[in-house]
A and B are shown apart, each in its own frame.
Chain A
Amino acid sequence: MKIPATQLRVILVTIVAVISLIFLILLYGITYEHISSTLSTSNKLMHANNVEIELEKLISQLKYAETAQRGFIMTHDSTFLRPFMKSRAEIESCFAHLHSLLAKDVVQLKHLKLLEQTVNSRYDLLVHNLEGAGQKVVVPHDLKAKLEKGNKKLESSIQIMNDMITYQDESLRTLEKKHIESIINTPIIYFTIVVITLIIFTFLIYKLDKERKKLIRMNDELIITNQSFVHAEELAGLGNWRHNFQDNKFTFSDNFYALLGLTPGEKELNLHTFLQMVHPSDRLDVINVFRNAYRNYQPFVLSYRIHSKENRLKYIKSIGRIINDNNNQRYLIGINMDITELVTSNKQLEMKNRKLELFNADLASFNYVASHDLQAPLRKIQMFISRLNEVELPNVSSLGKDYLKRIHASAAHMQILINDLLMFSRTNAGNKKFELTNINKILHHAKEELTLQIEEKEAEIISDDLPVINAIPYQLQQLFINLISNSIKFTSEGTKPVITINCELVGKEFIAPEEEFPSESFYKITFTDNGIGFETLYSEKIFNLLFRLHDKMSYPGSGIGLAICKKIVENHNGIIEAWSEPNKGSKFFIYLPANLS
């Protein structure tokens, strides 16, 4: 599953916060560690000092005892003995104190034991000396030896004590050294951690700020979008609404209300009140569509009428579908569109079209009826002329005979005219269904239809292989019949008509580049004959209705045949052109769209 960008940012910020928390805890740990280590170091220092003090006390007591001894020996005054006795007690208490102080230090305890022995033996000597002195029998050299011995013991005790002090000092120094080292590192570690934490926090704040700004910007944009949306809805006559499935709440846009002729939020609008506004005959459709949307989650498009509050009939087009949002809430969302104008203008257009169609049909049927119904009386006139010619001719004067002949010719011409007009009106009206048409077959059928003329004049028709195009078959056949019969008709007497039909594919730029054509390429079909031809200046006029180049006697015709051709080609979105010079034959070019759809 793809995690959206916002969610990713939240995850990132959380990670950063957790990391900085870990760093803070780390910082606390290190600080605690340092404080406790400093505390133990100072404890140790105090301890070492106490030991030294006790030892100094010990030495001074020993010296004190010495001095008291000497004083007694010299004076035999027992007052000197009292401090001596006191020093002994002090020394005992000193040892007891030292024992408690050095209980954990094995090396110092050894030293202490040795010291105790030495001090005890010294005191024994002192006591001995004092006993001697008390008997008053003093042997000088004996005394001297005893004093020397006592001095020696004192010196060795002092020596041991010095050793102890030295050891104590040394261990203190290493301790101090270690302590100083750790104290030097502490600020660096503190500093690093603080800096890292600061960086992380800065990053965090930066990120949060960026998010915030983004949110503000998005919010601003949303406000603008919303406003333009509201505006657009008003302009386009749209209203949107949604229905939350979970809390069954409907939300309508302002213009939704406006479409119904309500002011936004004016009335408790819901599905029921909305349906009340729907035109009664459309209501069931709307209900069914909604039901289908709710039950089967089917999207819908529907048009119906409503009566707005200001009692106007409006045509509404609704589209709607079911959506799920990010929180898996299901909505039916829909857009209503006011299509009243569209419907009205369409209706107007339809009406105009119908009128036009009716008008065209009227015209076509007028043409048809006129030419069709004109045939009957004309035919009867001709019949009576033929009866007169047959039965009554001996009774008619020569002038009368001439008149009869002229009436006959006029009637004949009128008949051609009516026939061709009839055909022209059929080309205009009639079935105009396009289908894929093989022009080879069209030519074949045209030749079949003209078989009598072709045989009579021994005409030869040579043609290329012709393409398949999208065309109205019977009209195309009429076109070929008219062009071929035209060529056969306008051939000088004694000449066998030769008609060549060529075909090539050309681009639309070949015809008239500035004009709009539905097709990119055209089939150019060229009819070339060896007939009498015509002046080049008439090459456009010959396609005009009722335009003729020859008198009725030499080449009877109505001047409609080529107009029909033009009409047919125009029905096919094509172009017809002609080129000719007198006695050089003529060429007719037909351009028909080559696309098959």
Chain B
Amino acid sequence: MANKPLDIILAEDDEDDRFFFKEAIEKVKIKTDLTMVNDGVELMEYLKNPENGKPHVVFLDLNMPRKGGIECLEEIRANKEYNDVTIVIYSTSASDNDIEETFVKGANIYIRKPNDFKILQKVISEVLSINWQYHTSGLNKEHFVLSI
């Protein structure tokens, strides 16, 4: 498993944020295969396409045109097939209550978009690392919640 690259999707409408994310994830030690979509509708279409296979991690921005992150989260979690897909909310800071709501709806990780590139790099690295630990060390995925 360690040798195969992680399949990662980022759903993000902001071009700058996609740019930063791409740059940051490339510097992470863990090998990744990044796909980027512009909004929720594109994301769901991508996931429904059988040619694309199941991603390991989905990064979701909450505020997107056409279909928001929460809607995507609910749709993905409604499908049992995607049970073991790690969902990371990648959004601007929100209240603790809003963050808790995403966890209750099935998100595993909530990332408040950092304002420093180094921190972004660190955060992505941490997320992928912990995700890897959960996969390789047989940890209880039900308990997989992390707020960064």
Contact = CB atoms under 8 A, between A and B. Distances in A.
Say whether A associates with B: yes
A474 B116 contact: no
A383 B117 contact: yes
A368 to B, nearest CB: 10
Interface in A358-416: 372, 375-376, 378-380, 382-383, 386-387, 390, 411, 415
B130 to A, nearest CB: 18
A390 B20 CA distance: 13
Interface in B8-32: 14, 16-17, 20
B93 interface: yes
Interface in B75-111: 92-93, 95, 97
B25 to A, nearest CB: 15
A103 B41 CA distance: 152
B99 to A, nearest CB: 13
Nearest to A382: B115
B93 A383 contact: no
Nearest to B119: A386
Nearest to A431: B97
Interface in A420-470: 423, 426
B116 A383 contact: yes
A376 B115 contact: no
Q: Which of A376, A390, A411, A423 has the most CB of B within 10 A?
A: A376
A474 B98 CA distance: 13
A474 B97 contact: yes
Q: Which of B16, B20, B116 has the most CB of A within 10 A?
A: B116
Contacts of B67: none
A101 B90 CA distance: 154
Task: Give chain B's interface residue range (CB within 8 Å of chain A).
Answer: 10 to 19
A419 interface: yes
B122 to A, nearest CB: 12
B12 to A, nearest CB: 12
B54 interface: no
Nearest to B116: A386
Contacts, number: 34
B11 to A, nearest CB: 16
Contacts of B16: 380, 383
A19 B6 CA distance: 121
A378 B92 CA distance: 11
A382 B116 contact: yes
A386 B16 CA distance: 14
B79 to A, nearest CB: 30
A379 B112 CA distance: 11
B4 interface: no
Contacts of A419: 93
B92 A379 contact: yes
Nearest to B92: A375
B10 to A, nearest CB: 16
Contact of B115 (A379, A390, A474): A379
Nearest to A372: B92
A426 B95 contact: yes
Interface in A467-485: 474
A456 B118 CA distance: 23
A382 B114 CA distance: 9
A390 B118 contact: yes
Interface in B96-148: 97, 113-118, 120
A280 B116 CA distance: 69
A380 B118 CA distance: 13
Contacts of B115: 378-379, 382-383, 386, 411, 415
B14 A376 contact: yes
A306 B93 CA distance: 57
B14 A386 contact: no
Contacts of B95: 423, 426
Contacts of A372: 92
Contacts of B114: 379, 383
Given A390-B117, A415-B115, A383 B92 contact: no
Contacts of A390: 117-118
Given A375-B93, A415-B115, 17 more contacts: A372-B92, A375-B92, A376-B14, A376-B92, A378-B115, A379-B92, A379-B113, A379-B114, A380-B16, A382-B115, A382-B116, A383-B114, A383-B115, A383-B120, A387-B117, A411-B115, A426-B95
8 tightest Cβ-Cβ pairs between the two chains A and B: A382-B115, A386-B116, A386-B117, A379-B115, A375-B92, A387-B117, A380-B16, A383-B117
Interface of B: 14, 16-17, 20, 92-93, 95, 97, 113-118, 120
13 contacts: A372-B92, A376-B14, A376-B92, A378-B115, A379-B92, A379-B115, A380-B17, A383-B16, A383-B120, A386-B116, A386-B118, A390-B118, A474-B97
Interface of A: 372, 375-376, 378-380, 382-383, 386-387, 390, 411, 415, 419, 423, 426, 474
